[in-house]
Amino acid sequence: MAFLLPGCGPRRSVETRQKAAARQPRPEKSALIPTRLRQEHLALSLSDEKGQPLLEATAQSVEVDEKSKVGRMSGPRFTFYEDGREGLRAQAGSLALDYAKKAVLLEGGVEGRSQASGYSFRADRARWDYGKKELKAWGNVRFWRKEWLAEGTELVGDTALKRARLLGSPARLTIIQKATEKGQARRQR
């Protein structure tokens, strides 16, 4: 029976150890530093330099690509803020947050409602530029309030939809009439 005690083995010179280490296969740099991060059921908040909230979001899953500085959320529900106050609550199929461009791209059917103005919208895609505090939505845009509905190809407005323009050819406006008791009685006759 033989025991090997630390320091009792054959001595190797520093050069011999360096040569042996050089022959060992080294992992690639990308394997040492993860470039993608994936998280399930995540809550995210983004603030400006003053600490005021810009965005709060929850999602089923999130992937972050460290190289491009883009985070992508699937199934998000979120709130955009303007000057520290709630501007717009919305949901979409996916949300991509681009830190470098200070923008949020929303895809997969976007629906939003502003508590401050009472306006709502629905579109195929939207982009929120939080550096400029501007929202753009495009593709089958519907913009409405209780008594009217407007349809167009593009909506441009501020975060709370207090100021908004609907663009498109042809843009269409529908007035939604509220039924009164007298009006319902006349229709029943």
Global pTM reads 0.68
Q: What is the pLDDT of residue 184?
A: 45
26 or 56: whose pLDDT is higher?
A: 56
Q: How far apart are the first and last CA of the chain?
A: 109
Between CA 36 and CA 67 the distance in angstroms is 8
Q: Give the pLDDT confidence of 142-182 residue by residue, as tens digits.
A: 999 988 999 999 999 998 999 999 998 767 888 876 544 44
Domain 33-188 sits in CATH 2.60.450.10 = yes
**Mean per-residue pLDDT for 37-46?**
74
Phi, psi dihedrals of residue 188, rounded to the nearest 5°: -75, -25
Between CA 158 and CA 132 the distance in angstroms is 9
Q: What is the pLDDT of residue 20?
A: 59
60 — pLDDT class (breaks 50, 70, 90): confident
189 — pLDDT class (breaks 50, 70, 90): very low
**Is residue 9 predicted with pLDDT exceeding 80?**
no
Q: Give the pLDDT confidence of 106-140 residue by residue, as tens digits.
A: 999 999 999 889 999 999 999 999 889 899 999 99
